[in-house]
Structure 1
Amino acid sequence: MRSLVSLVAAAVALAATPALAQDCDWTPERAVTYVVPWGAGGGTDANSRMLASLLEKKFGVPFNVVNRTGGNGVTGHSAIAHAAPDGYTVGAVTVEINTMHHVGLTDMTREDITPIALVDIVPASVLVKADSEYETLEDLLAAAKANPGSLTASGTSQGGIWHLALAGLLNAEGMDPAAIRWIPSKGAAPAMQELMAGGVDVATPALSEGKALVEQGELKALAYMHTDRMKALPDVPTTAEVLDSGWTLAAWITISGPGGLPDDITCSYEKAVLEIVDTPEWAEFKASRGADVVKMGSDELAAYMEKSDAALGSTIQAIGLAK
């Protein structure tokens, strides 16, 4: 899994231009539904709503964001995959498309959707309450090792990407992946609320999702599951720095369509999104969240998703969650 972050960096560096040679002039003539498989307030929702608003300006028709939660992400992803491939339903297919089938939640895979463009790459973090007794990640792991199962964590569903982030970290450090018990949630935002309320001891969402609460002094970031420190929070150490295993893990968000989306529609959306990510408005939005701008078109994204699927499957197998 450590190689997954390197894979992301290499893929983003590729030329991100529409690879399809045919006419990209298709435009929607009525409102488009933009499905988000996760709850309001999290990073997927925020990125999707911003992109939808900019697509609305570009195409001149409404892009209505609909949060279709449930089934640990299966409900929303199914709504995207099984919609009519006519360009009037797109959505935020996330890294969970590469985990849900490995843990036995669904038979649906990345092959059931049409990737259009990458929207965000989000390495996981380790967050605790501001007044937590744990000052470092090493402190937290020492407590979990001394009393396995006494600490709890949340951030997403059982087997979701933020669960894999923590379980994989524990496994990489030679600990039982259940040494910190996972409490499922419907997303990062409710998990962080539960953390602040004292319902769990740890949350492992993207650091960008917790950035505002860290800056406000509500939460404390012990680590960032990445190779390089986050520019917006440079004092937060990376797991590559502090762990013997060097464990890292990044999630990602795409805009994708149903399986079998015609090439001209895919190309039109791809072209529009790649133009949007080059705008100052998008750059300012990403900076406000402490995230970098990423740019990757449909062909590169399809290849990256295929490699990600294999890497995540190996991790799920290693920590005993494969079904």
Structure 2
Amino acid sequence: MSRISRRSFMATAAATGATAGLGLRAAGAQETYPNRPVTLVVPWGAGGGTDATARIVASLLERDLGQPFNVVNRTGGSGVVGHSAIATAAPDGYTIGMITVEISMMHWQGLTELDPKSYTPLALMNSDPPGVQVKGDAPWKTVKELADHIKANPGKLKASGTGQGGIWHLALVGWLKAMGLDANAVPWVPSNGAAPAMQDLAAGGLDIVTCSVPEGRAMIDAGKARSLAIMAPARNPQFPDVPTLKEALGIDFTIGAWRGIAGPKGLPQPVQARLVAALDKAYKSAEFQDFMKNRGFGTVWADPQAFAKFMAEGDAQMGESMKAAGLAKT
């Protein structure tokens, strides 16, 4: 063998060996996922409910899977920035995220083309339905009395709980529609969230606040507000005296703010299976259940298939509500 051909042979052999080695490592990486740190993107700011939920989930995944799960807050664009970061990540399982109800709302508003189908759903872990809150000394003692007043006096009461077109605004719109009323029968006053809305309610600046009952708990416990009903299939065990709309009015309307874990489309099946099993274990853990209960957050589990169905149904519901309120741009 000539010197040149031998050199060529050795180079080819080395390259072949290197490629084979890479293949073995690639196969091993998939089999032993995760073998390096994972980023868990949160589309909302640090300190909020989504951030807190993501951090307890990340800590439990880290303990179970043996690699760091680093929570990264990617805020901006009314949730578009963070949701986009999850959807456009490499589909290798090393960037996943906590998607929220806004993914079924933003595209209707023309903010993004992203929708629930832009992801590999892994697990739904939380849902918080809104309650119908009124001032502590309001004349309506039941949600039926309030509903009758709205029907008799359309346009006279004011409500809030979040910004225009936010989840709690759509909760009000859906409830009004379910009663056969115009979506604007109770004018909406935009606010920066449930907390300032509840303060405004207690001060007499609002008549109704639709937000989760845990968000209104401080004012309710202080006697400055009352929750008349909850827009959920069943009563919240932490607020057993608050009836559902179906119990109180015969209206089968439910809605809620939810949080779940998802990855970009095309996530490999072995990675999906590993993550779903770990998320199921985390959800069932005493640490997660106690953490959520202590903060008044609702716990709801759905596997990938059920989560996908849940999001599809919610997306259609949001579209109907936003169109009815004149908020849809698509």
Q: What's the TM-score, normalizing by structure 2? A: 0.77
Contact 1:114 1:259 in 2 (8 A): yes
Specify which of 252, 255, 268 is matched with residue 261 of structure 2. 255
Specify which of 165, 183, 187 is matched with residue 181 of structure 1. 187
SS in 2 for 1:104: coil
Gaps in structure 2 of 5+ consecutive residues: 1-29
Contact 2:43 2:80 in 1 (8 A): no
How much does 1:276 deviate? 0.6
CA distance, structure 1, for counterparts of residue 284 and residue 139 of structure 2:
43
How much does 1:256 deviate? 1.3
1:206 maps to amino acid: S
CA distance, structure 2, for counterparts of residue 208 and residue 88 of structure 1:
33
> Does 2:31 align with 1:51?
no
Deviations 1:236-278 (A, max 9, x none): 1211122243433233211112333333433332221111111
Change (3 A) 1:71 1:277: same
Specify which of 34, 39, 47 is matched with residue 32 of structure 1. 39
> Does 2:249 align with 1:231?
no
SS in 2 for 1:115: strand
Which residue of 1 is the match for residue 291 of structure 2? 285
Contact 2:43 2:79 in 1 (8 A): no
Once the two structures are superposed, the pairs formed by residues 65-214 of structure 1 within 5 Å of their partners are: 65-66=72-73, 68=75, 70-196=76-202, 198-214=204-220
SS in 2 for 1:205: strand
Which residue of 2 is the match for residue 4 of structure 1? none
How much does 1:169 deviate? 0.8
Contact 2:134 2:228 in 1 (8 A): yes
Contact 2:131 2:227 in 1 (8 A): yes
CA distance, structure 2, for counterparts of residue 120 and residue 40 of structure 1:
17
Judge which range, 100-109 or 234-243, deviates more: 100-109
CA distance, structure 1, for counterparts of residue 90 and residue 165 of structure 2:
29
Contact 1:24 1:264 in 2 (8 A): yes
How much does 1:148 deviate? 3.6
How much does 1:225 deviate? 0.9
Which one has the largest radius of gyration? 2
Which residue of 1 is the match for residue 7 of structure 2? none
> Does 2:226 align with 1:215?
no
Contact 2:42 2:51 in 1 (8 A): no
Specify which of 298, 310, 316 is matched with residue 316 of structure 2. 310
Query: What is the number of equivalent residue pairs in this alignment?
Result: 300
1:165 maps to amino acid: A
How much does 1:31 deviate? 5.7
Q: What's the TM-score, normalizing by structure 1? A: 0.79
What fraction of aligned residue pairs are identical, expressed as a percent?
A: 44
Judge which range, 112-121 or 138-147, deviates more: 138-147
1:27 maps to amino acid: P
2:68 maps to amino acid: V
How much does 1:189 deviate? 4.2
Q: What is the alpha-carbon root mean square deviation over aligned residues?
A: 3.0
Contact 1:232 1:290 in 2 (8 A): yes
